[in-house]
Amino acid sequence: MLGKVVISHEQIERVVRKMAEEIDSDLEGRSPVFIGVLKGCIYFFTALTQAIRHPVEVDFVQTSSYGSSTTSSGSVVLIKDITTDVRDRDVYLVEDIIDTGTTLWDLVTMIQARHPRSIQLVTMLSKPSRRKTDIHVDFIGLEIEDIFVVGFGLDFAEQYRNLPDIHEFIPEE
């Protein structure tokens, strides 16, 4: 069941602008490739990269760890790999939300094996109380409580991604 609005679209827009400014100042002298983690990142990724003033290259990777559940299975499956050569490049790995950190940990390990110059982690939302990995996130939009949320790319069983606001989602018993 769709619950209350947790983050309004106006708040999201402000967060994205602020993050884009911070990342822009980090891009001086870098050769960036922004890698979005599909499918959830698509709205945030698009808004963020459009707000960045530096030229950026984009690519996508797709994983799955939730299926039709509100909790991560802990098992990350790679569905789509990147096609960009990231050797000696500055990678900005962009997520919609970091929960346990397991997916991101696996992706960072995969990308590090391809010898990038650097990897910066970017997320719109972070749930630090759920972390199972000790992963450093370079750019965080907002920290949220341990609730399941949908909207602005976040889904439950592929539903609700298109909502402009972020809502709490309460599974029906």
Tell me the C-alpha distance between 43 and 47, whole Å: 6
Asked if the peptide bond before residue 39 counts as cis, ω within 30 degrees of 0, the response is yes
Tell me the C-alpha distance between 46 and 39, whole Å: 12
Indicate which residues carry an active-site annotation. 99
Residues whose CB is less than 8 angstroms from the CB of residue 45 and which lie 6 or more positions away in sequence, other chains included: 34, 36, 58, 94
Tell me the C-alpha distance between 68 and 50, whole Å: 31
Given the structure tokens 């976040």, which residue do they identify?
A: 154
Buried b (16+ CB within 10 A) or exposed e, 114-132: eebeebbbbbbbbbeeeee
For residue 21, give Cα distances in angstroms to 51, 54, 133: 8, 10, 28
